[in-house]
């Protein structure tokens, strides 16, 4: 039984597409959003590999400046704030609230495990109307390393008072799922549009296209 569920936040629970108008305004192409977030993840991985921690807000700003430099776009501080600050008010995907309510009602302990700094994570989850369902909001900032470093998942399990093997990470990122499983946790993958698993790593036992279907599988397997 894995009664502790750890949810990734950005893209997994919250919809980044709310930032598309800002990228359209600044770059003339909303799809630059995905180039930026890809660079965010690339830079985040570099901080893990080199053991040179920067909080996720700094990583997001650095990635934005890199994308702007590649495209010859000059950004003001207000422009940067519109995007990085906009992360605080992302809406949840429509399947998220009913799925989390279902899991909570089934007796699972719910927490988030996010790369976002604590204040940002709490603002995000309050804005999305999800924080009341959560026992803990766990941030990587507490261990000064971004996911998918193993110590992040181990810290989350310790915070919840269980062994890593008694937790299940739920995410729409293949790299996050792979990191959790390598750290000894179970995982579930939300196969949202455009999201795929890492083919070099073992797949999790639960894969479904939305969080409601993931929740149904978790209740069947873990309860």
From edge to edge, which strands make up the β-sheet containing 206-208? 136-139, 109-114, 4-7, 167-171, 186-190, 206-208
- Per residue in 166-181, pLDDT (tens digit) is 999 999 999 999 999 9
**Average of per-residue pLDDT across 208-218:** 98
Q: What is the pLDDT of residue 73?
A: 96
Cα–Cα dist 150/98, whole Å: 30
pLDDT digits (tens, 9 = 90+) for 33-70: 999 999 999 999 999 999 999 999 999 999 999 999 99
Mean pLDDT of 191-210: 97
**39 φ, ψ (degrees, to nearest 5):** -70, -35
Q: Same fold for the domain at 4-15+90-222 and the one at 16-87?
A: no
**CA end-to-end distance (rounded Å), the chain:** 6
> Is the CB of residue 200 less than 8 Å from the CB of residue 173?
no
Q: Average the pLDDT over 74-103 and give the result.
A: 96
Instruction: Kindly tell me if the per-residue pLDDT of 128 is higher than 90.
Output: yes
Angle made by CA atoms 177, 183, 5, in degrees to the nearest 5: 60
Domain 4-15+90-222: assigned CATH number: 3.40.50.1000
- What DSSP string describes 7-62? E--BTTTB-GGGGHHHHHHHHS-TTHHHHHHHHHHHHHHHHHHHT----HHHHHHH
The whole-number average pLDDT for the span 208-213 is: 98
Task: For residue 135, count CB atoms less than 10 angstroms from its CB and return exposed for 0-12, middle for 13-18, buried for 19 or more.
Answer: middle
Q: What is the mean pLDDT of residues 134-156?
A: 96
Mean pLDDT estimate for the chain: 96
Q: pTM to 2 decimals?
A: 0.95
Going from N- to C-terminal start, the domains of the chain cover 4-15+90-222, 16-87
- CATH classification for the domain delimited by 16-87, as one of 2.60.120.260, 3.30.70.330, 1.10.150.240, 3.40.50.720: 1.10.150.240
pLDDT of residue 38: 95
């Amino acid at each position: 039984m894995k009664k502790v569920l750890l949810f990734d936040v950005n893209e997994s629970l919250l919809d980044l597409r709310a930032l598309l108008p800002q990228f359209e305004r600044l770059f003339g192409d909303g799809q630059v959003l995905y180039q930026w977030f890809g660079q965010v993840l690339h830079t985040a991985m570099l901080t893990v590999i080199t053991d040179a921690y920067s909080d996720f807000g700094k990583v997001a700003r650095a990635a934005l400046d890199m994308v702007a430099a590649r495209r010859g776009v000059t950004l003001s501080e207000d422009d940067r704030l519109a995007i990085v600050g906009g992360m605080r008010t992302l809406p949840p995907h429509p399947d998220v609230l009913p799925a989390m309510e279902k899991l909570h009602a089934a007796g699972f302990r719910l927490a988030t495990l996010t790369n976002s700094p604590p204040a940002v994570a709490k603002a995000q989850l309050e804005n999305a109307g999800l924080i009341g369902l959560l026992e803990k909001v766990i941030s990587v900032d507490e261990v000064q390393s971004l996911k998918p470093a193993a110590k992040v998942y181990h810290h989350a399990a310790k915070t919840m008072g269980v062994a890593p093997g008694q937790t299940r990470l739920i995410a729409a990122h293949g790299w996050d799922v792979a990191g959790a499983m390598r750290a000894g946790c179970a995982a579930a993958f939300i196969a949202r549009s455009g999201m795929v698993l890492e083919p070099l790593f073992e797949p999790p036992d639960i894969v479904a296209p939305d969080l409601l279907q993931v929740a149904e599988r978790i209740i069947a397997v873990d309860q």
